[in-house]
A = this chain, B = another copy of it.
């Protein structure tokens, strides 16, 4: 494998995944991953541009940033690309009136959206709200539409909380896709449009950017397909088998965000 110097040459911007990279979530707020608070601070003191690119769809962007700030992270709302505000823009642009199957914590992101007489379904990581009754309701809304539109905020398989692995929205997206015989539109990683919007907001071209995440497919594979480089951290939902993934090879594997930032500050353009 090429040296770190070669692999990181020309990097001007860094996209950071949040859950599993900055902190591990839990019902009571979670815990920062050791070294990550300092790593973010060091990165932001460098010449590198930084943006946070999350698939978290349980919390509003404001609540997520508030939580991270309480953990000590230097982060503000304007630095975060999150799927719910992105979906909200799409709904407005296309005149879609969603039936929302989402966590109560993220509902405020859709305050400005007309949800009467729905003509599409939006699902997010709804957690406990993924009851049979709520899923059946979303299913029935879709089956009554002539051209059913299902928008899924991410398509992750699972994520890690301090209590263990948790089923993510992707599993429920697949359930509705199969039941209705349709394909969902994904707003979130690994959708290319989503990565591109984050790059645009950061003001960096894909070939000058690197993604750091714990998801070999959603973060690493998705970013690489957009022409970015990508590192996988061995925290969060990382599993040793990820390093032998049949389809995706990261540009590097690091123990945690702190190690990634050490390497970036040493070798990238800063």
Residues of A at under 8 Å CB distance from B?
A: 126-133, 135-136, 139-140, 143, 157-158, 164-168, 170-172, 174-181
Contact B139 A165 (CB under 8 A): yes
Docked CA distance A132–B126 (Å): 9
Cβ-closest 5 pairs across A and B: A171-B175, A174-B178, A171-B179, A175-B175, A130-B132
**Chain B residues within 8 Å of A158, by CB:** 139, 143, 179
**Chain B residues within 8 Å of A181, by CB:** 157
Q: Can you name 16 A-B residue pairings with CB atoms under 8 Å?
A: A126-B132, A129-B132, A130-B131, A136-B166, A139-B158, A139-B167, A140-B165, A157-B179, A157-B180, A158-B179, A167-B179, A170-B179, A171-B178, A174-B175, A174-B177, A174-B178
Set B132, B175, B180: member contacting A127, Cβ < 8 A? B132
Docked CA distance A143–B132 (Å): 22
Docked CA distance A178–B156 (Å): 10
Docked CA distance A133–B128 (Å): 7
Set B136, B164, B174: member contacting A174, Cβ < 8 A? B174
**Chain B residues within 8 Å of A172, by CB:** 175
CB distance from A123 to the nearest CB of B (A): 12
Contact B167 A171 (CB under 8 A): no
CB distance from A130 to the nearest CB of B (A): 4
CB distance from A74 to the nearest CB of B (A): 33
**Chain B residues within 8 Å of A127, by CB:** 132
Q: Which residue of B lies closest to A134 (CB)?
A: B132
Contact B175 A167 (CB under 8 A): yes
**Chain B residues within 8 Å of A133, by CB:** 128
**Chain B residues within 8 Å of A132, by CB:** 126-131, 167
Docked CA distance A133–B130 (Å): 9
Contact A178 B157 (CB under 8 A): yes
**Chain B residues within 8 Å of A168, by CB:** 179
Docked CA distance A184–B177 (Å): 17
**Chain B residues within 8 Å of A130, by CB:** 131-132, 135
Docked CA distance A143–B178 (Å): 22
Task: Identify the interface centre among A127, A140, A179: most chain B CB within 10 Å of its CB.
Answer: A179
**Chain B residues within 8 Å of A170, by CB:** 178-179
Contact B167 A135 (CB under 8 A): yes
Docked CA distance A136–B143 (Å): 26
**Chain B residues within 8 Å of A140, by CB:** 164-165
CB distance from A86 to the nearest CB of B (A): 23
